[in-house]
Amino acid sequence: MDLDQAVCIVTGSSSGVGAATARMMAARGARVVINYSRSDSAASEVAASIEAMGGEVLVCKADVSRDEDCQAMVSQTLDKWGRVDVLVNNAGTTKFVAHGDLDGLDAEDFQNIYGVNVVGAFQMVRAAEAPLKASGNAAVVNVASIAGVKGVGSCVAYAASKGALITMTMSLARVLGPEIRVNAVCPGFIEGDWLAQGMGQAVYDRSIAHLRAQTPLQTVCTPETVAESILSFVDSHSVVTGQHLVLDGGHLLL
């Protein structure tokens, strides 16, 4: 797919992987929807950085766990540009709880995490299905996690939700072709403020040091390296659908 003038919705794009993806797409000529649920100022900063490079941007406040918000975001996109070519389901949430602390999670935690990480992604695909199919060569990329492959991560509910997202990627790929390719990226440890705040700085620093010492590539992900792989599923891999790609410097091999 040629991204020049393509219309791309990136959920959860006010920071981190979503922001990096939006900027990278805009640099290739795409028109980008910046989505956020809480951080208005951060979303505005991302939008301003894209406009500064001459890109076109639409900022949409929406909570993807709410179906009406998903429908509204797609409607606003169509009102502005009349099409949708790419959907990146990056919006996600979690709760940092040790896996052995079963009392640290309850049903409401699972429902909140699944509501964004799984149901939200489904609702976005459903809302955008018609314009994506009309595009003729559309791509959906779901941002899952190594947590969904290995059963690790910030909590049991998060790992389970990302495993569900990987399964849903396969299910949707079967029914949305040939017009829409659906794939997923599964990042490992992503360097940045989100994990540092959730883990605490000391644990975060130890984790990075361990991964850089032990993994075959002696590195961890950054928002930009994850964005590179997201774009590869969009503008390359034309015969690939229903797949997930682990991005972890070889952590899965340990």
Which domains does the chain carry? 7-188+222-245 (3.40.50.720)
Residue 178: is the preceding peptide bond cis (ω within 30°)? yes
Could you give the CA distance from residue 183 to residue 240 in angstroms, rounded to a whole number? 8
Could you give the CA distance from residue 241 to residue 56 in angstroms, rounded to a whole number? 28
196 confidence band (pLDDT: 50, 70, 90): confident
- pLDDT score, position 164: 98
Which of 36, 114, 158, 204 does the annotation list as catalytic?
158
Question: To which residue do tokens 């709760």 refer?
Answer: 95
User: Is 204 an annotated catalytic residue?
Assistant: no
Identify whether the C-beta of residue 90 lies closer than 8 Å to the C-beta of residue 144. Answer: no
Q: What is the pTM of this model?
A: 0.96
Identify whether the C-beta of residue 234 lies closer than 8 Å to the C-beta of residue 86. Answer: yes
Could you give the CA distance from residue 254 to residue 237 in angstroms, rounded to a whole number? 28
The pLDDT of 196-200, averaged and rounded, is: 86
Could you give the CA distance from residue 38 to residue 18 in angstroms, rounded to a whole number? 14
- pLDDT score, position 26: 98
Between residues 115 and 193, which one has the greater pLDDT? 115
- pLDDT score, position 195: 87
Average per-residue pLDDT in the chain?
A: 96
Tokens representing residue 50 in the block:
């894209």
CB atoms within 10 A of CB 175: 9
Could you give the CA distance from residue 83 to residue 133 in angstroms, rounded to a whole number? 10
Identify whether the C-beta of residue 179 lies closer than 8 Å to the C-beta of residue 138. Answer: yes
Sign of CA dihedral 37, 42, 44, 47: negative
Residues paired with 245 in a beta bridge: 185
Nearest CA to 143 out of 111, 113, 187 is that of 187
The pLDDT of 168-189, averaged and rounded, is: 97
The pLDDT of 111-129, averaged and rounded, is: 98
